[in-house]
């Protein structure tokens, strides 16, 4: 299963990852060692987008390694994947509007 919209979105910001997503890339373990931690997170995310039945993506990586704009890119890519690539969200809408205020902690 290949989901190009979400992957293309990530590649707009991290074009270096395109070589690593190619199945014919030689010796991926050496190649991955040359990536920054941020690039590794996005590579892992793209591997999930490419084949979600065989690869998982741990959202904790976003929390631990991404900052500011990188988090926004990751969230947008996950949204594109859910809405446009695998159609997990067929009709995007806000379905819950609560009257009570909630507090969220990091």
Q: What is the pLDDT of residues 76-98, one digit of tens each?
A: 999 999 888 886 666 666 655 55
Q: Where are the domains of the chain?
A: 4-85
- Looking at residue 1, what is its pLDDT? 40
Q: How confident is the model at residue 60 (pLDDT cuts 50, 70, 90)?
A: very high
The C-alpha R_g of the chain, in whole angstroms, comes to 16
Provide the 3-class DSSP secondary structure of residue 83.
helix
Q: Are 63 and 37 in contact (CB under 8 A)?
A: no
Provide the 3-class DSSP secondary structure of residue 7.
helix
Measured CA to CA, the distance from residue 63 to residue 29 in angstroms comes to: 24
pLDDT at 67 over 70: yes
Measured CA to CA, the distance from residue 13 to residue 76 in angstroms comes to: 12
Average pLDDT for the chain: 81
- Looking at residue 19, what is its pLDDT? 84
Query: Average pLDDT of 35-56?
Result: 92
């Amino acid at each position: 299963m290949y989901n190009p919209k979400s992957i293309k979105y990530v590649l707009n910001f991290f074009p270096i990852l395109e070589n690593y997503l190619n199945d014919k890339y030689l010796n991926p373990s050496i190649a991955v060692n040359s990536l920054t931690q941020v690039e590794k997170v996005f590579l892992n995310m793209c591997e999930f987008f490419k084949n979600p039945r065989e690869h998982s993506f741990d959202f904790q990586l976003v929390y631990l390694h991404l900052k500011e704009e990188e988090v926004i890119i990751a969230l947008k890519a996950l949204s594109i994947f859910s809405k446009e690539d695998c159609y997990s969200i067929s009709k995007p809408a806000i379905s819950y509007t609560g009257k009570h205020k909630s507090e969220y902690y990091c």
